Structure 1
Amino acid sequence: MFITAKQITKNVERLYEILTKELSLTTDRSGGVEEGVLTMWDILEVLKDPPQTADQALIDKLVVGAGVHDLSAKICAVWDHFPLERGTLEPHLKLLAGTKFITQNAVNDRWTADGANGRQHDDADKIIELYWACLCIIAGMKVDLDDPVNSSGGKNPDVIATATDGIKWGFALKTLARVSNPVNVPSNMSRLMRGGIKQINASSVDKGMVVLNMKNVIDHDLIRQTMHIFGWDKAREQLVSQVANYTNDLHLNHSHDLLADLQASPRVAPQAALVAHVATPTNIFGRTVMTEVNAMVEEVFPPSRDDGAGSYAAEVHWLLWTLNDVVQKVR
């Protein structure tokens, strides 16, 4: 998927207008990419006028910014075409204005004592909630988004969306932290999924599912190298392969308690959505464009499960297909 600078600028300028003029939010700037931290405003400024340059600092901003462009497109679509839903997004947009991002080549030093778990900025973790809420709204669902500051403390799913048939869905969204050793990722996936199941069980939703954001545990550099050498299709294969390596280990070594929790939780879907996004700037015929590789992997538990048409699993499969369609078409 190629996104031109013109497309990027249009959505980013509109988001900038929403944040500064319609919500009267002020900028919160950091020391910039040189210090390993970017704010939303740093990224928006670059994306408003993408440079024709190979400067590494600007490339870092554009790499992070591709995801911001994708988020911008979804936010603008909701804000401009679903005005009654603006209030749903506003608390998260206020948080977004102060969000800081760790750049691709910066070292995250927030490790736990045993070195097993890294911790991303809490505010940045909330972005996936905003993104998923936008997908649901655009897909025609009525959304109740847990307040990012005055939240329920995990008592409710992060996004509650009522479908046109009246079914209330609860989505527990979990962002995997960066780890010093990738071998720890599958056990972290199991732990986060079990926490999401607990959230859904404690709520009043009719049905629910867990969504794992994989962005922090993906080897972005390897995927970008694959894209430059072999093209987009091979890069997407590489992304899906990385996710599959984690899920295979999860099923083999860390699924016993997870499967027990799912079996005891009939309202929770027997599959999870694993989402990932990688981007890199490139120059085509003198134009800066963003090459994006997205994946929404539907992981079934157990992997041998094969529910037929009309089953809960089939219903979830169709829902994820609909949401992924929004991801690909709203740019």
Structure 2
Amino acid sequence: MTILANNDGARNMRALAEATVRCVCSLGTRLRHRWRRWRTRKQGIQVQIAGASDLVDSFEELLATHGVSIPRHVSTGADMLSLWRILNTIKAGFAGTPDDMRLEYTAGLAVHDLAAKVLAVEDHPDFPTLIPHLKMLVQGAVHLTQEPPADADAYNKLVEVYWATLLMAKSIRVLLDHPKNSKGDNPDVIALDGSQAARAYAFKTVRSPHTQSLLDHIVKGVDQIERCPAPEGIVAFNLTPRLLGAGLWPEACFFADWQQPAVRTIEMLTGMISDVLKDNGQEAIDDVFSGKKAVGSILCVAFIPTVARNPITGNAVVMPLKVATLINLVADRPPSAAMLAEIEAANHTMQTALG
């Protein structure tokens, strides 16, 4: 869900909440109608997982045609596509609670989502540019909702290929910075919409809770955008690592309403960026963007699993919470109408391309 946020207080937060709820409930309706369900009931919990077996089969086949095979974990020997463990356990008879398989459900939802996004653009002319990123899957970075057991850099790069697929799904041509040969001086994704100017996205995966780290990432992203050929760009943060321990999947219970984890996520992301402004002052932030091609907003994305009550059935469901939030830091440097439309289109694909 893409929410255009700023720092104007309670009125805007209420609008944020209302828009978030509309997006989440709309997504839930689509999921119920479009997903084939595997179900298990235990202590009142109903877990719904996409009937993703065929889709993930197709994903693995597509990867194999490009020389990419998903490995087994070097220590446990488990298939890195842990969706299979979930499906097999459910079909065999699940004797635990969703909390017992929290990591597996998290991985299953995320792998299904990634597979759907990649398969949707396999015929795009720029698909070959995704292959170097997809090859990093062999290092264990198979999904965005948890840090991998191996190479952290592979995880950092995965959000780039994910965003690129969202743009490609709208028939937008893309330039994707090579994950291994990158010198760190170019934005990670550049959108080339033939009739309009190029737009750059400088992605940063943020783990540190310190505002200085966020500011350093902003400065680096602004500098990368300045040196690229695109006349406009935006710094984008993958803040998933900052949220994994934030209680968005409560222990041994679930949210009474889907809006609760969604609104909470928006509040936390907004707070993280607002703290950069609070700790450094508006003048210092203005100086970072002054005379630069980067817009004065930060695109924040996060991929979080949660458990919430289905408003139609009353059952609790495990669901992926995928958030894209645009937060303004410098009021007089907004994204262009073209960039706003592009982000909105990418978000629409993120929420609706489910395989």
State TM-score, norm by structure 2. 0.74
Which of 202, 214, 224 lines up with 2:239 in the alignment? 214
> 1:92 touches 1:147 (CA, 8 Å); kept in 2?
yes
Q: Which amino acid aligns with 1:11?
A: L
Q: For residues 13 and 282 of structure 1, do their structure 2 counterparts lie closer, same or farther at Cα, with a shift above 3 Å needed?
A: farther
- SS in structure 1 of the partner of residue 343 of structure 2: helix
Question: Displacement, 1:99?
Answer: 2.4
Q: Which residue of 1 aligns with 2:273?
A: 247
Runs of 4+ in 1 over 6 A off after TM superposition: 101-108, 281-285
Q: Is residue 193 of structure 2 the alignment partner of residue 163 of structure 1?
A: yes
Q: Which amino acid aligns with 1:46?
A: R
Cα displacement string for residues 194-234 of structure 1 (whole angstroms, at most 9, x for unaligned residues): 11111111111121111100100014451122981322111
Question: Displacement, 1:169?
Answer: 1.4
Which of 106, 111, 114 lines up with 1:71 in the alignment? 114
% identity of equivalent residues: 20
Q: Which residue of 2 aligns with 1:115?
A: none
Q: Which residue of 2 aligns with 1:328?
A: 351
> 1:173 touches 1:210 (CA, 8 Å); kept in 2?
yes
Q: Which residue of 2 aligns with 1:113?
A: none
1: distance between equivalents of 2:146 and 2:216? 27
Q: Which residue of 2 aligns with 1:8?
A: 52
- SS in structure 2 of the partner of residue 222 of structure 1: coil
Gaps of 5+ in 2: 1-27, 38-48
Cα displacement string for residues 136-187 of structure 1 (whole angstroms, at most 9, x for unaligned residues): 1112210111111122x1121111110132311111111002x4xx3x1x32
- SS in structure 2 of the partner of residue 90 of structure 1: helix
Gaps of 5+ in 1: 109-118
Which of 94, 103, 117 lines up with 2:135 in the alignment? 94
Q: Which residue of 2 aligns with 1:270?
A: 296
Question: Displacement, 1:6?
Answer: 3.9
- SS in structure 1 of the partner of residue 230 of structure 2: coil
> 2:303 touches 2:323 (CA, 8 Å); kept in 1?
yes
Q: Which residue of 1 aligns with 2:342?
A: 319
2: distance between equivalents of 1:195 and 1:132? 19
1: distance between equivalents of 2:351 and 2:131? 24
Q: Which residue of 1 aligns with 2:213?
A: 188
> 2:201 touches 2:235 (CA, 8 Å); kept in 1?
yes
- SS in structure 2 of the partner of residue 326 of structure 1: helix
Q: Which amino acid aligns with 1:165?
A: S
Question: Displacement, 1:89?
Answer: 1.2
Q: For residues 270 and 154 of structure 1, do their structure 2 counterparts lie closer, same or farther at Cα, with a shift above 3 Å needed?
A: same
Q: Which amino acid aligns with 1:8?
A: A
Which of 321, 346, 355 lines up with 1:293 in the alignment? 321
Aligned residues: 301
